[in-house]
């Protein structure tokens, strides 16, 4: 990231020096004004994309700063983690914030003195709650965490992060809603976001790492029953994007059955492991009473799941045709 920013700065200097014939003093004097004019022109031609790029850069730099504060070397940071944060900023924060600030102006179109406090209160309750939830949820999915883990992390961090924002954003938003024009608000907010994203990114990753490293054994055993469900969430959503987005309805079952080769392997393995663990830990009398059917149980379980899955798909196909 540092190399990229340095490259941009050097390219900017080369452009002004080569094409305008400016000296270094003239570049330092006039380049900011020209860059600002270019930014305003971008806001007129494609405002959403311009704000998406700015938010993407800010969220990437904010995560990099967070990693530096965590003790990582300046250039030896987790690039995947920084990419995840930048991706959230680019795809979601820039575009959603653009429409939110315009919606806020339409919802509260007045110009009285009380409008600014009302907008700040609305921002720090409704919008902050929505955006914090989106940020933590999308980051969890980008880390390939299960929905159950994401929801538990969100539930644990929702209120602390919301109240932490109240120590920073109300003062910043007095400027946002009281001074800055609506089209330039996201640029000002993104400047403050350098601090806020550092806090968000640090908190999100600390909670995620703590949950992975410090989860007690009993929590693992109690959540083991949801293993197939969580495994399915890691496989089927991506497969079904192809199922319902690409494959014609008559050929969908063939595609799903190809993926089922993987899924049935997972189900059968899990079923046998659970059955063997239950048989080995059961009392001797339970073993003797169930010894006739025990070895068949994994096969029956896998067969039932397979048949139910097949029946469900046939039902969906018929409903789809009707």
Kindly report the number of other CB atoms within 10 A of residue 133's CB atom.
15
* Average pLDDT score over the chain: 75
Task: Check whether 289 has a pLDDT greater than 70.
Answer: no
**Rounded CA separation 322/311 (Å):** 17
Position 221 in a domain? no
Are residues 72 and 119 located together in one domain of the fold?
yes
Residue that wins the pLDDT comparison between 38 and 55 = 55
Are residues 23 and 169 located together in one domain of the fold?
no
Phi, psi (rounded to 5 degrees) for 257: -65, -30
Position 101 in a domain? yes
pLDDT of residue 91: 93
pLDDT of residue 290: 47
237-285 pLDDT per residue, tens: 767 877 887 788 877 888 777 777 776 666 666 666 666 666 666 555 4
Average pLDDT on 61-87 reads: 87
Kindly report the number of other CB atoms within 10 A of residue 146's CB atom.
19
Are residues 262 and 204 located together in one domain of the fold?
no
pLDDT of residue 193: 86
Are residues 186 and 128 located together in one domain of the fold?
yes
pLDDT of residue 213: 63
Are residues 145 and 177 located together in one domain of the fold?
yes
Are residues 69 and 205 located together in one domain of the fold?
yes
Question: Buried b / exposed e across 225-234, counting CB within 10 Å, b at 16+?
Answer: eeebeebbbe
Q: What is the DSSP letter of 72?
A: -
Position 194 in a domain? yes
- Asked if 148 and 230 touch (Cβ cutoff 8 Å), the reply is yes
Position 305 in a domain? yes
Tokens of 35: 């860059």
Task: Check whether 16 has a pLDDT greater than 70.
Answer: no
Position 220 in a domain? no
Tokens of 9: 């700065």
Q: Nearest Cα to 170, choosing from 186, 197, 192, 154?
A: 192
Q: Which of 22-26, 229-233, 280-284 has the lowest mean pLDDT?
A: 280-284
Tokens of 16: 């002004």
Given CA atoms 35, 37, 38, 40 in this order, what sign does their dihedral have? positive
Are residues 75 and 34 located together in one domain of the fold?
no
Residue that wins the pLDDT comparison between 267 and 322 = 267
Are residues 38 and 134 located together in one domain of the fold?
no
Tell me which residue has tokens 């900011």. Answer: 32
Q: Which of 36-40, 55-59, 112-116, 164-168 has the lowest mean pLDDT?
A: 36-40
- Count of domains observed in the chain: 3
Q: Nearest Cα to 193, choosing from 293, 93, 100?
A: 93
- SS3 of 245, please? helix
Position 64 in a domain? yes
Are residues 311 and 259 located together in one domain of the fold?
yes
Are residues 36 and 76 located together in one domain of the fold?
no
Task: Check whether 296 has a pLDDT greater than 70.
Answer: no
pLDDT of residue 4: 41
Task: Check whether 72 has a pLDDT greater than 80.
Answer: yes
Task: Check whether 292 has a pLDDT greater than 60.
Answer: no
pLDDT of residue 211: 59
Q: Nearest Cα to 65, choosing from 77, 51, 53, 54?
A: 77
Position 135 in a domain? yes
Helices (H), the chain: 2-20, 24-45, 47-69, 79-88, 94-107, 115-122, 128-142, 147-165, 169-178, 185-214, 217-223, 227-245, 252-281, 284-290, 297-321
- Asked if 208 and 143 touch (Cβ cutoff 8 Å), the reply is yes
**Rounded CA separation 116/288 (Å):** 75
Domain residues for the domain of 287 are 226-321
Are residues 297 and 242 located together in one domain of the fold?
yes
What is the Cα 213 distance to its own chain's centre?
A: 21
Are residues 37 and 163 located together in one domain of the fold?
no
**Rounded CA separation 243/257 (Å):** 11
Helices (H), 70-113: 79-88, 94-107
- Indicate the residue among 183, 215, 247 that finishes a domain: 215
């Amino acid at each position: 990231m540092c190399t990229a920013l340095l490259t941009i700065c050097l390219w900017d200097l080369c452009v002004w020096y080569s094409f305008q014939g400016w000296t270094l003093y003239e570049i330092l004097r006039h380049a900011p004004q020209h860059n600002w004019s270019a930014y305003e022109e971008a806001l007129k031609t494609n405002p959403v994309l311009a704000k998406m790029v700015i938010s993407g850069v800010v969220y990437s730099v904010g995560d990099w700063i967070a990693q530096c504060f965590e003790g990582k070397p300046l250039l030896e940071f987790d690039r995947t983690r920084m990419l995840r944060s930048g991706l959230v900023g680019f795809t979601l924060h820039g575009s959603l914030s653009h429409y939110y600030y315009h919606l806020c102006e339409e919802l509260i179109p007045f110009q009285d003195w009380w409008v600014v406090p009302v907008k700040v209160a609305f921002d720090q309750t409704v919008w902050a709650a929505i955006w914090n939830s989106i940020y933590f949820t999308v980051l969890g999915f980008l880390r390939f965490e299960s929905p159950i883990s994401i929801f538990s992390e969100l539930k644990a961090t929702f209120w602390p992060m919301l109240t932490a924002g109240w120590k920073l954003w109300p003062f910043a938003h007095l400027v946002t809603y009281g001074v800055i024009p609506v089209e330039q608000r996201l640029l000002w907010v993104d400047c403050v976001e350098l601090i806020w994203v550092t806090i968000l990114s640090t908190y999100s990753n600390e909670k995620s790492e703590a949950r992975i490293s410090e989860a007690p054994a009993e929590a693992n055993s109690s959540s083991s029953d949801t293993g197939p469900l969580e495994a399915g969430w890691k496989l089927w959503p991506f497969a079904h994007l192809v199922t319902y987005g690409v494959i014609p309805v008559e050929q969908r079952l063939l595609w799903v059955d190809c993926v089922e080769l993987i899924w049935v392997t997972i189900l059968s393995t899990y079923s046998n492991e659970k059955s063997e663990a239950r048989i080995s830990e059961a009392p001797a009398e339970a073993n003797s009473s169930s010894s006739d059917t025990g070895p068949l149980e994994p096969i029956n379980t896998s067969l039932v799941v397979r048949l139910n899955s097949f029946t469900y798909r046939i039902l969906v196909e018929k409903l789809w045709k009707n």
